[in-house]
């Protein structure tokens, strides 16, 4: 299921770019910056009933600035 429009994403905490909520391989959600590539950890789920909660948790991580960046010093 696509939850990308259900959860509002703030701008990237690293560069200010747009974030994208993605369901990777149908078993985990991650939010990634379209500009710099920063991303949240992947939030996995095993059953479809858990997918919305995983998407919500990934969006919350993004919106609170808990991201992984490959830039030196981050």
Per-residue pLDDT of the chain in tens (74 residues, 90 and over written 9)? 778 889 999 999 999 999 999 999 889 999 999 999 999 999 999 999 999 999 999 999 999 999 998 766 55
Enter the pTM of the model.
0.90
pLDDT at residue 73 in the model: 59
pLDDT at residue 70 in the model: 76
Alpha-carbon Rg for the chain, nearest whole angstrom, is 12
pLDDT at residue 39 in the model: 96
21 with 72: CB under 8 angstroms?
no
């Amino acid at each position: 299921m696509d939850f990308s429009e259900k959860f509002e994403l703030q701008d990237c905490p690293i560069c200010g770019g747009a974030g994208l909520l993605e369901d990777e391989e149908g078993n985990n959600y991650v939010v990634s910056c379209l500009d710099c590539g920063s991303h949240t950890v992947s939030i996995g789920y095993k059953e479809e009933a858990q997918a919305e909660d995983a998407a919500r948790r990934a969006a919350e991580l993004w919106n609170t600035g808990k991201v992984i960046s490959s830039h030196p010093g981050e």
